[in-house]
Amino acid sequence: MIARERLNQLKEKFGPAIQRADLPGDSRLFVFVEPSALKAICQHIFRDLDARYVTSIGLDDRPCSGKFLVAHDFAFDRDHLLCSVLAYLPADNPKVDSISDVVPGASWAEREMRDLVGIEPVGHRYLKRLVLPDGWPDGMHPLRKDVPWNHVPAGYDEEREFTFDEPPEGCMVVPFGPFHPTLDEPAHFRLYVEGEMVRGCEYRGFMVHRGIEKLAESVLTYNDIPMMAERICGICGCVHNVTYAQAVETAVALRAPPRAEYIRTIMLEIERLHSHLLWVGLACHIVGFDTLFMQSWRIREPIMWIAEKISGNRKTYALCVIGGVRWDITPEVRAELRQVLDKLEAEWRAVVAAVSKDKNIQKRTRGVGVADMTLVKNIGLIGPVARAAGADIDCRRDHPYAAYDRVDFDVITEFGCDVWSRVVVRMKEVFEAIRIIRQCLEKMEDGPLQVPIKDELPVGRIGVSSVEAPRGESHHFVITGENNRPHRWRVRAPTYQNLQAVPMMIKDQQLADMTISLGSIDPCFSCTDRMETIDLKSGVTKVWSQQELESMTRRGKA
């Protein structure tokens, strides 16, 4: 049993520092440790055992244990194992040694933990505010349990401004954002430029804040949250919908019926198809090849139509409930989907051939935005960005979920580490997605769509789930709670990790390459921005009823 072997390795090295462990299955391991040993244990897991860093979570657990809780999640991809290392911290002094100097990819998560929960990562080298608005009062941490979801903090300073770092000597500042023609969402890169060369930058984001994690533990219920999760991202909505449902299901030892798992797989791959087709078109647009941009989006459109036939919506499918799915795939839709895939595959081969031979695209993308294997390891890069650097990782194979353990597909890798390699990875993954959907349509058996749940879900269970979004791994962490809702729900979208590598990817390259370098990670800033905001000027809060939202939509105001 792999989970037991990994646990024994930790016990042999750290002895009594390992307080207890939960092994709900051979693919999950939750290890509770002494806070003083947390950093050394994480370093051993990350460096010596070569696990991949996933994310870190902070939790105000005072209503249950009287303490705070911190968790660092890692993935043993070759072992098909997800591991959480957890430590309880005293309520009157929630401090813990930072792991960011030995696990650099944990830097943002620890800063967020400090902002939102008030857990201090001692020794962190750059404890600048990350998530909270500039004028937010110090000492107010909105994810603490004693802060209501609609609380308006006193002492908000409207005049307080974010203080940027000083530029290097000899450099001038060129702002990229927060509003830029090639960005659909606000993000601010403060570029330090010497002549035409970028010598560094500072990122200021988290400007699109919504009440997601706080609302989940305060207002929403288990089966409300999939609809909220789907709105985390405008492209990868089904990914978050499925990831959340699976996190809860693994926490309470529940499994969706086989037919539901096949349908989840089909819808996730439909989403991958339309996302990759969209991205390749946008990449061509960024480098000035609008003909292929229009062709890519034309080919994409039938996929949107078939998604609407299945779910009633082109993009937000409302697919999952805990224990299954809402929508079935009828024999008529199955036949039509096969025809759509046949036509898409033929047309996409022509696009791939055109892009692959185009010298102008290659000149704009080869050697640009380089992220090598060292950066992949240290920052925890994922998805096409990592696979384009030769990292053979993919959650669909490494941590199988839904019906992925019953289909065959290849994990596409390239070795150029640059924008061009990311283009190639995404173009080839389209063919693998088609291959997966065809197998699911062939193998999907009849049966129920949902498992009936008669009793309340047990409290205090931990669940983690990773799903391979088009951009990379989405990871959800859940602790079940009372009142038919989670005690804590933490979302780590792929952009959250990949965005941290952008300053290194653009360093010492031309300013003109900034747009395609950033675009090559397919950034979704709304995925990354998850905190609640309040109208601080008026102090007004409002909960919209379903009837009000429906009425506004019909009047064209929403």
CATH of the domain at 340: 1.10.645.10
Q: What distance in Å separates the CA atoms of residue 143 and residue 86, rounded to the nearest whole number?
A: 18
DSSP per-residue string spanning 53-90? EEEEEEEEEHHHHSEEEEEEEEEEGGGTEEEEEEEEEE
What DSSP character marks residue 515? H
* Rounded Cα gap, residues 103 and 374, in angstroms: 12
pLDDT for position 452: 93
Q: 395 with 468: CB under 8 angstroms?
A: yes
Tell me which residue of 253, 272, 266 sits closest to 322, measured CA to CA. 253
Residue 338, domain member (yes or no) = yes
Mean pLDDT for the stretch of residues 195-212: 85
**Residue finishing a domain among 131, 161, 183:** 131
| Whether residue 468 sits in one domain with residue 338 | yes
Average pLDDT, the chain: 92
| CA–CA distance, 239 with 324 (Å, rounded to integer) | 15
Its pTM stands at 0.92
SS3 per residue for 217-259:
HHCCCCCCHHHHHCCCCCCCHHHHHHHHHHHHHHHCCCCCCHH
**Do residue 225 and residue 123 come from a single domain?**
no
Shared domain for 255 and 109, answered yes or no, is no
Residue 551 lies in a domain: no
Record the tokens describing residue 538, joined without a space. Answer: 């008026």
pLDDT (average), residues 325-349: 97
Is residue 109 assigned to a domain? yes
Whether residue 346 has pLDDT greater than 80: yes
The CATH number of whichever domain residue 108 belongs to comes to: 3.30.460.80
425, part of any domain: yes
pLDDT of residue 235: 86
Q: Average of pLDDT values for 456-483? A: 97
At residue 552, does pLDDT exceed 70?
Answer: no
The pLDDT of residue 206 is above 90: no
- pLDDT band of 538, cuts 50, 70, 90: low
Output the CA angle 388-389-395, nearest 5 degrees: 70
Of the residues 75, 105, 131, which one is the last residue of a structural domain? 131
- Find the range with the poorest average confidence among 7-21, 198-212, 438-452: 198-212
228 and 370 co-located in one domain: yes
Q: Average of pLDDT values for 26-32?
A: 97
Instruction: For residues 94 and 227, state if they share a domain.
Output: no
Q: Does the pLDDT value for residue 522 go beyond 90?
A: no
User: Are 217 and 119 found together in one domain?
Assistant: no
Predicted pLDDT at 209: 64
Residue 83, strand partner residues: 29, 74
Peptide bond into 178 cis (omega under 30): yes
State pLDDT tens for residues 33-54: 999 999 999 999 999 999 999 9
Residue 347 pLDDT: 97
% residues pLDDT > 70 (the chain): 92
Shared-domain flag, residues 460 and 327: yes
Strand stretches in 291-406, DSSP E: 320-321, 324-325
556 found inside a domain: no
pLDDT band at 534 (very low <50, low <70, confident <90, very high): very low
CA distances from 424 to 365, 368, 419, 465 (A): 11, 14, 9, 28
- For residues 290 and 271, the answer to whether their CB atoms sit within 8 Å is no
Element (H, E) at 120: strand 120-122
Does a structural domain hold residue 289?
A: yes
Indicate whether 104 and 6 sit together in one domain: yes
pLDDT at position 184 over 70:
no
Handedness of CA 249, 252, 258, 259 (dihedral sign): negative
In contact, 496 and 481? CB cutoff 8 Å: no
CA dist 109 and 98 (Å) reads: 10
**150 within some domain:** no
Structure confidence at residue 156 (pLDDT): 87
CA dist 489 and 481 (Å) reads: 10
| Predicted local confidence at residue 344, as pLDDT | 97
Q: Is residue 437 part of a domain?
A: yes
The predicted structure's pLDDT at residue 424: 97
Q: Which residues of 427-463 are buried (b: 16+ CB within 10 A; e: fewer)?
A: bbbbbbbbbbbbbbbeebeeeebbeeeeeebeeebbb
Listed residues 131, 148, 183: the one ending a domain: 131
Number of domains forming the structure of the chain: 2
Same domain membership, residue 376 and residue 232: yes
Q: Whole domain around residue 466: which residue ranges? A: 213-528
